[in-house]
Amino acid sequence: MSSMEGALLFALIAVPFFGALVMVFFPADKHSLIHWYTRAIAFVGLVLAVYLFVTYDTDGDLGKYTVDFAWLPTLGIRYTLGLSGITTPLVLLNAIIFMAGVLVSWNVTHRPKDFFIWLTLLVSGVYGVFLATDLFFLFFFYELAVVPMYLLIGVWGSSTDFTKMEPAEGPGFGGGGKFDRPKEYGAMKLMLYLVAGSVLVWIAIVAVWAEARSATGEASFAIASLAAVEYSREFQVIFYPFFMIGFGVLAGLWPFHTWSPDGHVAAPTAVSMLHAGVLMKLGAFGILAVGMVVLPEGAEAWAPVLIGLGTVNVLYGAVSALGQRDLKYVIGYSSVSHMGYVLMGLGTLEVIGLNGAVFQMFSHGIMTGLFFAMVGIIYERTHLRDITVLEGLGKRMGVVGAFLAAAGLTSLGLPGFSSFVAELLVFIGTFRTYPLLGVLAVIGAAITAVYILRLMAKVFFGPISDRWADLEDAKPLEAAVGAALVAVLLLWGLYPFRIVEIIDSGVKPLLEGMGIA
Amino acid sequence: MTPDVRFELLWPEFLVAGLAFLVFTLDFFVRPARKEVLAWVSAAGLAVIIAFTVPFLLNEHDSLFDGLYRVDSYALFFKVLSMGIGIAVILGSLHFVDRRLTHPGEYYAIIIVSVLAMMMMAASGELLTAYLSLELLSFCLYILSGFALQDRRSNEASVKYVLLGAFSSGLLLYGIVLLYGALGTTHFAGMAAALEGTGGVDGRLLVGLALVVAGLGFKLAAVPFHMWAPDVYQGAPMPITAYIAVGSKAAAFALALRLFYEALAPAYDEWQLLIAGMAALTMIFGNVVAIVQTNVKRMLAYSSVGQVGFLLMGIAALSPLASNALMVHLVGYSVTNFAVFFAITAFYNATGKDDIPDFAGLAGRAPFLAAAITVGLFSLAGLPFLAGFVTKFYLFSAAAAEGLLWLAGVAMVASLISLYYYLQLIRQMYIERAPEDEGGSVTVATPGVLAAVIGAMALGTVLLGVYPEPVLATIREATAALLDTGSAWPTLGSAGQ
Amino acid sequence: MMELAWLIPSLPAIAFAFMVTLGKRLPNWSAIAATGSIAVSFALFFFVFADWLGAKSFPHPENYTFVYSIDWLRAGDAILTWGMWIDPISLTMLGLVTAAALGIQVYSWSYMAHEPRFTWFFAVHSLFAASMLALVMADNLLLLYIAWELVGICSYLLIGFFYDRRSAAEAAKKAFITTRVGDVGLLIGILLLFVETGTFELSTIFAALAAGDLSEGIVTGAAVLMLLGAIGKSAQFPFHVWLPDAMEGPTPVSALVHSATMVVAGVYLVARIFPFFEASDTASLVLLSLGAVTAMGAAAMALVMTDIKRVLAYSTLTDLAFMMLALGAGSVTAGMFHLLLHGFAKATLFLGAGSVSHGSDKTDIRDMGGLRRVMPWTALAFGIGALSLGGLPPFGGFFSKDEVTLAVFLIEEPYRWIFLTVALTVGFMKALYMGRLFFSVFLGRLKPENEHAHEAGPAMLAPMLVFTTLGAVGGLLAFNWTDGYQGFGYFVFAGDHQEAFHPNWWIAAASAALAVAGFGITWLAYVTGSLRTDSIIAKVRPVHTLVANKFYVDEVYQWGIDQVMLRAGNAVAWVDRAFVNDIGVNGPGIVTEKSGTKLRLLQSGKIYNYALGMVLGFLAVAVAWWWAL
Amino acid sequence: MELYHVELLSAALFALGVYGVLARRNAIMILMAVELMLNAVTINAVAYAAFLDPGRLVGQVITVFVITVAAAEVGLAMAIILRLYRVRATANVDEADTMRG
Amino acid sequence: MDAQAVAFAIVAVVALVSGVGVVTTRNVAHAALFLLVSLASVAGVFILLVAEFLALVQVLIYGGAVTIVLLFALMLTRAEEFSNVRSNPQWAVAAVAALGVFGAMGAVILNDRLDTQELRGPSLQELGGELFTNWVVPFEIASLVLLMALIGAIILARASDSDEPGSGG
């Protein structure tokens, strides 16, 4: 902890982590205290993240952003934290979504203490993954970020029972069939799937570590030193898929994506936000910051597969979203589709594509957070998420509708919102490497327009039924959250210079390290 | 015939034996209502002996009786661990004994004797001594598992345990004798030397080894020698289940590790794959069958069968790193399992139920117990901030470093499976609601002592997960001792590469 | 003043931001902010225009000027900038857009006065103006695309202004999605050019094109792909279906967005990237063909529609196709000129139509007639606009139509006569439907139920009359009036052929005659009643049905969406559940659990079975070793 | 009498014991079969001591301990089997199978 | 074939035959008696292997203690149940497995013949000295084992009032 920035990194993880531990001792019935306490934690994180983002030194030395502590020397494990151009926006993303998630969770009254403890722990895990530069700790935090999900969904989530839905009319809304999806199923599947992914990652980590140890005679889990080792091409080609698929599971890589819609649907609002908004990014981040960095040749060999699967993600997710009738499923599949752009960007192994991928992580995170926040409000007010039943809500919930529309427009790549810039960069990268897939990706964006507009037209437009006469629009707090998220989307949609500059400063050395740029 | 035997180095053993006799004797003088004094005496006695033993044997390094009995830091580590386990079990069973068992004096005394047996298993440097210690431990456990005299299941457990135990000791002894025939000695060091000397591999050696593996496998509960375990775990009184799961296993691994390290290391190539295969089979079988269990004890029994598979990796890899890993995993496993088992004991004490659905809504009825069980189960599944994460990571890395990456892969998949059934229990506790009738809404009270033990174990689980280095430093010392004596194995650390 | 050109789009944008954030608090200020900002922009346009005319040193022959450029984004080797590009084409558009936007906003003050979402209307209107202005001034394809999408979304929001009407919601959706399909092509084309040239800058791309750095395939490909975007936005066949439905929006929106300005963005885009069409005959031919098909089809549909705004919408389609024809024929001048005059005339007509439905609460022309008695000013304006668009001399529309026809006449063989025939036929049909519309609405007998209808107020009439005037006299712009200007042909041109207005008298005479004939026939049919339309329709019943059903294109699309897209969505969603999830994901879990159920049977509870297990285990080890050795 | 004769005898007895454990259902009979196995062990131990071990002692020592343990084992096992009989009125091990699966 | 071999053959056959009797008879008491015979023959083998002391121990402890404990147990329980005990259903598999065990061991024994030394046993003194010096720790452990067995047997077998056959909960 040589400098203030180092201390800030440390605090970024420690504040939510110890904050959660301290919360254990709070009286469980002091709801207001618990809410405000968690908000304070989130706010501290937000302040730190904003500070780090604003003052980030794109061409200075990164040494000042480090923490280093020998934790388990036998295996070469050190508790090291660092910040790079890639992680800076992601840390900010996490801080923003956490803050927003906590704020929209004002209505959590069922055991709020436990809820916020788990939520806060999860967030500290996410910070940890972004900041850790030691593979062990990266994995450690990765798991920490996954585990609380089970209870968060299982206890505070909601079940979907299509069999109980009113009969659908018109084409396009029978989608999904008669599938009973209790929240326990979603929670269990999500948990097992993500841990299954992390098992693959774990195998690869251990393999790389052992290989490096036998090559250099020195045990180390530091990503930098692992990356410095020259692994045989064969080894890289064998073990890169472990990283790619293992992390890819969390990123919603097709065909390992199905946990994501089910999980999102079952999860409570704040968890959906964090999960789709931040956690899925961990997967993509892992592929980038671990897989590609450590095993560059493997990454090159597998890049066509990654970008191909990413394209499948884009199209498959979008087309699947067309066939859904549950609001959250639409958004869940849209996340699958949008993560496809991230994966495509990663698969380009090209500077602009990678920039786009990272920016898309950020941008999709904010956007999907906004989505889930608004859908959560609708569900809270109507106790319905069935598109075929909801109609004309715009009359009563204009503000919610406006924010949902903003998220939807972001999602379909409307210029002015940051996703457009991100997707544009991904497209450029893809066109430079695999133009045909680029064309498919652009078409995917058009399909997105179809399902988003269908959703808007169904749910918010049209005549309103008497059933919703007393529907309440967004509360000021909720509206403020929505406005803040939209503002972020607009800010970097209209003028992305700074954030892309930061990302670029992280991507370039990464590619140089891989011997590509 | 044996000059200069430093008998004083056996003081700890003598003290423990003396403590056992003291408790036996005291039993006659303590009024039935105040039998818990015996538990306190036992626990305090063991604590005092630990306090005495550690400074007394620190840095001692000696082989008594020609290597028959070892006094080294490896043995010291397991002595302390055994006594610690003993203390935990004694305190953890205090209330259980009070409410559900007779003969408390004998109960505690037998536990102390079994602790002694465990201590000697880790210190044995010779097959027969090891066998006798093991048999002593087994005898104690046969008795203890049948200690709930009026309980059909407890009796069934002890019948199965004793008959299969006798059978397995027949196998083990035959194996020992065959090894004796093939190598001419039963001393570990001598065996290693003889193994190095022989060019070809004698058939008796292999059959003997197979029988020894079978006999030890029984003790370790490794597939396919594990079959007694679920039944005995389920039937035995709850604290004894914990004790069998933790203590007996720790001691058996202490013995097995020393045996494989000091005696059988030269034949590494012969048995590595065997042990690795057994490890894989064990972890898959244990975890897969655990999925379909409905009784908590039985589920945990299969889970601990699965855990044996992980631990066997440490033997299969056989490197200093792997030994460290095995030992640290053993420590983590002990602490974690105690946390879970004692929490379940507390639940059982209060409700008399031990089926998984009975735990519905426990988070509301007994948040502390639910939290402890959750911590323990998550640790067993290898989730971060808990002992299981670090120790598994260590263990799997060590296995991978010796070229057993495939085994590490199987182990990781097995831990994934284990997560599933652990989550089933967690789901009952946190997500399901307590049944309205049948006193489901009654809060589960945990007596102070038991709560303290559970708390300590859960805390230990967390501490080990957060900062394992101090424990590891100790373990490195202990392994170093193993390496010194196992000098017949010069190429350690590079095996398998 | 040219340095301040960036203010032109920025002012309405600021007004938009103001209204969205503070509009609810300051409702009275929103219309003022909107109109004020666009008024200032309009004023700025004159300064910029004057600057342009005065700047003798502007770099001929490239004929463009950068005014301002900032770094917008840097990633890797890509540096994306935002800048303004001022040239005659964009100046023409600037003038049209600012003028139309200002006039229509003034009109809306009164027309929209009773709408509860008045502020929202003005906000989106301002955003539309801002993005449309940015679109026409963009110096690079990316910025153009951004603005392009923004006008699209504004159009979506404005069509869906009455969002609680199901039809409006559907129309908005349809408009956005249809244009979006075209935009896919546009974006792909832009990206293709970026990959080839490494930049979005128009000047650099044109330089590369001129230098021959781009292969013919790329040029044609990029041109056709971007053309997809253009025909989407300009509602050319096969993307024309959205525009008539877009009339669900408030009438000022139809006037501004869906006739005068936004829909001509496609034409503008083609004019902007005209060098590509110059360089590629194939692309030009595609453009011509699409224009011809759309012109014929749309004109036919305009003849049979009965909703006043829908007739106007189809007439818009026809005119847009006419502009496309001109561009395809290689005459940017003609295209832009028609664009400008059509804009004025169509604004007049839409505002007139709005005034009619405002005053009479009717939209079906069969319910109208003789309205000139109650709405004389509207009738005057509408009449001049209709005559102008119908191509009757001396109104502006005649000049521009003539220019277009002339341009088509100059096409090289073998297509010359085909397209000339199309142009002349369409010219005739334009007169027909314009005559039909005007005569059946304003002339003839006033129906009793329409007697209460009233003339619009001054705020509505004033802009209408201004546009009427502009449309009527706009044809004069073709001529050389001042030193710096030298006529529209000198002002707006592409390639090297600046040209003055030089009518071909034969063509002019022919088209004038056709126009007169058209109006004459409709006079007979709708005013004197001596020509029975019913009997004509009866004679061509199948054709009429086909046309009245809009050639069943909507049905085909609907079928495609319902039966193909949504079925695909359902199918994929089902596959995702049934296969990927239930087999791929749950499968391993079920297998594991099943094997657990089977394996537990081994655990029989009987001691001798357990012992057998141990012995078998031992034997397995022994046998394995036996094999190994 | 060669060593392998004795070894074969031992192996045969051991196999018989194994068979007994595997094939019988009465707990006491299983116990007796185990005794046969232990006898096989002692025969082998004594034979190795006599034929192979230069010190000739270890095998005999083993035998002493094995016999001791065997005796103790019988005693303890009998007590437990008695208990089984008391609670279930049978000594058949396959009737004590409430715990399985 | 010398006398020693003949003697060995006899005791071996007796040991095996009675061993077969132990594992096949249906009567527990008969099995116990067969076991006694088998143990005695093993004692004979010990004598042939020059381990007279062990033979004595064998007869005394096994022949005495073990058998008596067994018969005592039989007397305690109602013997009629014990007179007709069938083998369990898996006896055929068991036979194959046992044959397998014997086969494996026999193959090893016959395959790897070990070099043997002159047949001779240690003196009783030597054995005693060894037991109480080098093997004192195991000896102590063994005594603890016995003690545990004793205590365990007392605890587990001691009848209490509620202990009727089949009364367990």
What secondary structure, in 3-state letters, does C410-457 show?
CCCCCCHHHHHHHHHHHHHHHHHHHHHHHHHHHCCCCCHHHCCCCCCC
pLDDT of C58 = 47
C369-427: pLDDT as tens digits:
788 888 888 888 888 888 888 888 778 888 888 888 888 888 877 788 888 888 888 88
Interface pTM (ipTM) of the complex?
Answer: 0.87
Q: Where are the domains of chain B?
A: 270-497
pLDDT at B348 over 80: yes
In the beta sheet, which residues pair with residue A326? A386
Helix (H) or strand (E) holding A161: strand A160-161
Residue of A nearest to B401 (CA): A210
Chain D positions with Cβ closer than 8 Å to B: 14, 17, 21, 27, 30-31, 34, 37-38, 40-41, 44-45, 48, 52-54, 58-59, 61-62, 65-66, 69, 72-73, 76-77, 80-81, 83-84, 87-88, 93, 96-101
Contacts of C among chains (3+ CB pairs under 8 A) = A, B, D, E
The answer to whether residues E3 and E77 belong to one domain is yes
pLDDT of B309 = 93
- Cα–Cα distance for residue pair B38/B28, rounded to 1 Å: 11
From chain B, the residues in CB contact with A148 under 8 A are none
pLDDT of E164 = 46
Is residue D84 in some structural domain? yes
Most C CBs within 10 A among E23, E85, E90, E99, hence the mutation to make, goes to E90
Structure tokens at B446: 């945990």
Distance from CA of A431 to the nearest CA of C (A): 7
pLDDT at A1 over 50: no
From chain D, the residues in CB contact with E51 under 8 A are 46, 49-50, 60, 63
pLDDT of C59 = 45
* A40 lies within 8 A of chain B by CB: no
Contact criterion met (CB below 8 Å) for C181 and C242: no
Contact criterion met (CB below 8 Å) for D96 and B156: yes
* B66 lies within 8 A of chain D by CB: no
- Cα–Cα distance for residue pair B252/C169, rounded to 1 Å: 74
pLDDT at C541 over 80: yes
Q: Where are the domains of chain C?
A: 2-548, 554-628
Most D CBs within 10 A among B120, B137, B142, B155, hence the mutation to make, goes to B155
pLDDT of A90 = 92
pLDDT of B221 = 92
Among C527, C504, C373, which residue's Cα sits nearest to residue C450?
C373
Distance from CA of C442 to the nearest CA of A (A): 34
Is residue E157 in some structural domain? yes
Is residue E66 in some structural domain? yes
- Cα–Cα distance for residue pair B270/B262, rounded to 1 Å: 15
Structure tokens at A52: 């780090």
Residue type, A492: W
pLDDT of C544 = 84
Structure tokens at A467: 């059933």
Cβ neighbors of B410 (< 8 A, separation 6 or more) are: B280, B283, B284
Contact criterion met (CB below 8 Å) for D45 and D60: yes
Is residue E2 in some structural domain? yes
* Domain boundaries, position D71: 3-92
pLDDT band at residue A176 using 50, 70 and 90 as cut-offs? very low
* C595 lies within 8 A of chain D by CB: no
The answer to whether residues E127 and E79 belong to one domain is no
The answer to whether residues E1 and E65 belong to one domain is yes
Residue type, A271: V
Q: What is the CATH number of the domain that holds E24?
A: 1.20.120.1200
Q: D93 and C605: CB-CB below 8 Å?
A: no
Q: A202 and B423: CB-CB below 8 Å?
A: no
pLDDT (mean) for A462-467: 80
Distance from CA of A174 to the nearest CA of C (A): 7
B385: left (phi over 0), alpha (psi -120 to 50) or beta: left
- Cα–Cα distance for residue pair D101/C604, rounded to 1 Å: 6
pLDDT at B493 over 50: no
Most confident region among B129-143, C93-107, E45-59, E110-124 by mean pLDDT: B129-143
Give yes or no for a cis peptide into E122 (omega within 30° of 0): no
Contact criterion met (CB below 8 Å) for A331 and A375: yes
- Mean pLDDT over each residue of chain B, to the nearest integer: 87
Long-range (24+ apart) CB contacts under 8 A made by B180-184 are B180/B127, B180/D45, B180/D48, B180/D53, B180/D58, B180/D59, B180/D62, B181/B208, B181/D44, B181/D48, B181/D52, B181/E114, B182/B208, B184/D52, B184/D53, B184/D54
Contact criterion met (CB below 8 Å) for C246 and C177: no
* Domain boundaries, position E151: 122-169
pLDDT of C502 = 66
From chain D, the residues in CB contact with C610 under 8 A are none
Contacts of B among chains (3+ CB pairs under 8 A) = A, C, D, E
Angle ∠(E125,E128,E132) on CA atoms, nearest 5:
140
B304-330: pLDDT as tens digits:
999 999 999 999 988 888 888 999 999
B172-229: pLDDT as tens digits:
999 999 999 888 889 998 888 888 876 666 788 888 989 999 999 999 999 889 999 9
E residues 63-102 closer than 8 Å to C (CB): 88, 90, 93-94, 97-98, 100-101
pLDDT at C493 over 70: no
pLDDT (mean) for B473-491: 66
Cβ neighbors of B338 (< 8 A, separation 6 or more) are: B85, B88, B92, B242, B246, B453, B457
Percentage of residues of chain A with pLDDT beyond 70? 95
pLDDT of C482 = 63
Contact criterion met (CB below 8 Å) for A74 and B472: yes
Residue of E nearest to C611 (CA): E94
Nearest by CB to residue B383, choosing from A143, A155, A207, is A143
A314-355: pLDDT as tens digits:
999 998 888 888 888 888 889 999 999 999 999 998 889 999
Q: E97 and C616: CB-CB below 8 Å?
A: yes
B27-73: pLDDT as tens digits:
889 888 888 899 999 999 999 999 999 999 888 888 888 888 988 88
Helix (H) or strand (E) holding C84: strand C78-86
C117-153: pLDDT as tens digits:
888 888 888 999 999 998 988 888 888 998 998 898 8
Domains contained in chain E, number? 2
A residues 152-171 closer than 8 Å to C (CB): 171
Distance from CA of C576 to the nearest CA of B (A): 23
pLDDT (mean) for A159-180: 49
* B151 lies within 8 A of chain E by CB: yes
Domains contained in chain D, number? 1
Contact criterion met (CB below 8 Å) for A139 and A201: yes
- Cα–Cα distance for residue pair C137/C93, rounded to 1 Å: 9
Q: What is the CATH number of the domain that holds D72?
A: 1.10.287.3510
A residues 377-406 closer than 8 Å to C (CB): 392, 394-395
The answer to whether residues E145 and E78 belong to one domain is no
Cβ neighbors of E132 (< 8 A, separation 6 or more) are: E139
pLDDT at B367 over 80: yes
Is residue D10 in some structural domain? yes
C605: left (phi over 0), alpha (psi -120 to 50) or beta: left
Q: Which of the listed residues E85, E113, E140 is the one where a domain comes to its end?
A: E85
Among A458, A438, A459, A456, which residue's Cα sits nearest to residue A448?
A456
Most D CBs within 10 A among E17, E20, E30, E49, hence the mutation to make, goes to E49
Is residue E3 in some structural domain? yes
Most C CBs within 10 A among A309, A362, A387, A461, hence the mutation to make, goes to A461
In the beta sheet, which residues pair with residue B71? B62
Residue of A nearest to C191 (CA): A428
* B181 lies within 8 A of chain E by CB: yes
Structure tokens at E99: 């044959």
pLDDT (mean) for E105-110: 88
pLDDT at B497 over 70: no
B229-248: pLDDT as tens digits:
999 999 999 999 999 999 99
Is residue D98 in some structural domain? no
More confident residue, C498 or C313: C313
Residue in this structure with the two tokens 């047996």, named with its chain if needed: B117
A13-70: pLDDT as tens digits:
889 999 988 888 888 888 888 889 999 999 999 999 999 898 888 877 777 777 888 8
The answer to whether residues E4 and E79 belong to one domain is yes
